[in-house]
């Protein structure tokens, strides 16, 4: 039997779609899914549903699956992150040979990827933690792919990954070797952190517009914005969402206002906290999802205070400027975190190249991401880019008006506010952190620095007699 060029483990939604993408690009591929209760026919159903592809071979036995892939084996695992990944790695190890490559295409935590990389390195097996973005459609038609691991392993898998990836505006694949060990999964995690804040911003903008406009009218505004600098995939799908009918109703009005999450947003936020980097927007958007989940309590309390809904209208031009202002800050914070982690983990990450592979296939693709390729090539900091800085500076008045409208009308705008407060904090010469330092020194003798001496000296004051 001819050996396959590639193997995929896990025929869930993403695994199926990526397998079909690989097969469509002409590579021979073996697929495997375990047999457990209710999953007996997954492999055979997949093969019969797609029997026009003659280059797919299916297996329900792991040993035969591994044996069917040519060496060095390139095996992509597309299963739920966590313990299941460790378990499949353990099952694979006795069947693999030195130099084989395991690619984890799920949303695994980058610290787990670092551990797995070292563990497998001792067995001379390459491990590639690979971020994949774009959902089901992206996986099928061209995702954005963020592989970490050794350059050596990347060279082996590049011809396939680059072929199945989305293409940027120059026709180059949205796939690039990110950096060592956990770098690929780290980048995907931050992608999701940025995604959370971009989604929350659109939701807040919607809530501001919805005081006086219908869903269709808001869809029209989003479609309009999508023709200019504000355009993005998320804005585009939100306009479509707002136009979706179910019978006579707008479907959006029937969807319960409780947001779920699978954890990557909170991982990003935790990592930012650990690295000491102020990612206030992604963190606030995670908390916004958590607040939304208290639906029953919210309803109860809303009844107690019994406020009327406003029907005042927000100024749409100011809102558009405020929205873009917040998006720039979101990218500043997201890429700032990447830069911070790059130094901390010695990954030597290329911010401009990361922006490039995020211009197509992934969820946060946008016109601004396109612009970010050159911005980050020059400066690696949006505040150093004169055009952006001027935009932020000149649109400050607009976001203030938008926030005032929100405050006056009881519209919760945590993430928009977070962007404004970050900007104000970062552009304020003197912050009240001297108070914090004095308090710390007062109760805990934690010491403080002084403005009338050099920065390297620390002082303690005896604030009161004990």
Binding-site residues for substrate? 107, 133-135, 191-192, 196, 262, 289, 440, 446
Least Cβ distance, residue 144 to ligand 6PG (angstroms): 8
Q: Is residue 146 a contact partner of residue 130, using CB atoms and an 8 Å limit? A: yes
* CB nearer to ligand 6PG: pick between 126 and 289: 289
* CB nearer to ligand 6PG: pick between 107 and 359: 107
Looking at 5, 16, 156, 188, which residue is catalytic? 188
Which residues lie across from 147 on neighbouring strands?
A: 130
* CB nearer to ligand 6PG: pick between 15 and 134: 134
Least Cβ distance, residue 104 to ligand 6PG (angstroms): 13
Which residues lie across from 24 on neighbouring strands?
A: none
Residues 363-402 that bind ligand 6PG (CB under 6 A): 363
203 contact partners, CB below 8 Å, separation of at least 6: 288
Rule CB under 6 A: say whether 17 interacts with ligand 6PG.
no
Q: Is residue 109 a contact partner of residue 174, using CB atoms and an 8 Å limit? A: no
Looking at 5, 16, 156, 195, which residue is catalytic? 195
In angstroms, the CA 368 to CA 230 distance is: 7
Residues 104-163 that bind ligand 6PG (CB under 6 A): 107, 133-135
Q: Which of 176, 192, 268, 279 binds ligand 6PG (CB under 6 A)?
A: 192
* CB nearer to ligand 6PG: pick between 133 and 398: 133
What is Dmax (Cα atoms) for the chain?
Answer: 87
Rule CB under 6 A: say whether 362 interacts with ligand 6PG.
yes
Burial of 196 (0-12, 13-18, 19+ CB in 10 A): buried
127 contact partners, CB below 8 Å, separation of at least 6: 101, 102, 104, 113, 116, 117, 119, 120, 121, 149, 153
Least Cβ distance, residue 296 to ligand 6PG (angstroms): 21
In angstroms, the CA 78 to CA 158 distance is: 18
In angstroms, the CA 245 to CA 242 distance is: 8
Q: Is residue 134 a contact partner of residue 362, using CB atoms and an 8 Å limit? A: yes
Beta-strand (E) ranges in 356-456?
Answer: none
Which residues lie across from 102 on neighbouring strands?
A: 75, 127
Least Cβ distance, residue 370 to ligand 6PG (angstroms): 18
> Is 195 one of the annotated active-site residues of the chain?
yes
Least Cβ distance, residue 196 to ligand 6PG (angstroms): 7
Rule CB under 6 A: say whether 360 interacts with ligand 6PG.
no
> Is 396 one of the annotated active-site residues of the chain?
no
> With CB under 6 A, what is the number of residues at the site for ligand 6PG?
14
End-to-end CA distance of the chain: 85
What is the SS3 assignment for 180?
A: coil
Would you give the binding string for ligand 6PG spanning residues 241-260, x where CB under 6 A is met? -------------------x
Provide the binding-site residues for ligand 6PG, judged by CB under 6 A.
Answer: 107, 133-135, 191-192, 195, 260-262, 264-265, 362-363
- Active-site amino acid positions: 188, 195
């Amino acid at each position: 039997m001819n050996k396959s060029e590639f193997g995929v483990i896990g025929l869930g939604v993403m695994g199926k779609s990526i397998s079909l993408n690989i097969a469509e690009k002409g590579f021979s591929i073996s697929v495997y899914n375990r047999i457990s209760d209710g999953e007996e026919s997954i492999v055979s159903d997949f093969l019969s549903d797609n029997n026009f592809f003659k280059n797919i071979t299916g297996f329900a036995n792991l040993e035969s699956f591994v044996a069917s892939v040519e060496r060095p084996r390139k095996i992509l695992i597309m299963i739920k992150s966590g313990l299941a990944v460790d378990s499949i790695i353990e099952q694979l190890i006795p069947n693999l040979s030195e130099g084989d490559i395991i690619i984890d295409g799920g949303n695994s935590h980058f610290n787990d990827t670092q551990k797995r990389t070292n563990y497998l390195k001792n067995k001379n097996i390459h491990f590639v933690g690979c971020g994949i973005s774009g959902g089901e459609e992206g996986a099928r038609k061209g995702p954005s792919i963020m592989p970490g691991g050794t350059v050596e392993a990347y060279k082996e898998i590049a011809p396939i990954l680059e072929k199945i990836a989305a293409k940027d505006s120059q026709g180059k694949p949205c796939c690039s070797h990110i950096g060592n060990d956990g770098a690929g999964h780290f980048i995907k995690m931050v992608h999701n952190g940025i995604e959370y804040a971009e989604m929350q911003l659109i939701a807040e903008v919607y809530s501001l517009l919805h005081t006086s406009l219908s869903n269709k009218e808001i869809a029209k505004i989003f479609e309009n914005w999508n023709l200019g600098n504000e355009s993005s995939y998320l804005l585009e799908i939100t306009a479509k969402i707002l136009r979706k009918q179910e019978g006579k109703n707008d479907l959006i009005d029937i969807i319960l206002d409780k947001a779920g999450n699978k954890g990557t947003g909170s991982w990003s936020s935790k990592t930012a906290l650990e690295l000491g980097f102020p990612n206030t927007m992604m963190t606030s958007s995670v908390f916004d999802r958590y607040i939304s989940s208290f639906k029953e309590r919210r309803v109860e309390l809303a009844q107690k205070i019994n406020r009327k809904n406003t029907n005042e209208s927000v100024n749409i031009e100011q809102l558009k400027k405020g929205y873009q202002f917040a998006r720039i800050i979101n990218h500043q914070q997201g890429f700032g975190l990447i830069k911070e982690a790059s130094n901390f983990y010695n990954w030597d990450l290329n911010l401009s190249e990361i922006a490039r592979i995020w211009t197509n296939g992934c969820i946060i693709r946008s016109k601004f991401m396109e612009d970010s390729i050159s911005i980050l090539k020059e400066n690696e900091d949006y505040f150093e880019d004169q055009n952006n800085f001027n935009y932020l500076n000149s649109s400050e008045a607009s976001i203030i008006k938008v926030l005032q409208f929100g405050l006056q009308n009881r519209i919760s705008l945590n993430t928009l506010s977070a962007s404004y407060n970050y900007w104000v904090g970062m552009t304020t010469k003197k912050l009240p952190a001297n108070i914090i330092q004095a308090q710390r020194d007062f109760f805990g003798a934690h010491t403080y620095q002084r403005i009338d001496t050099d920065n390297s000296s620390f002082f303690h004051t005896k604030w009161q007699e004990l």
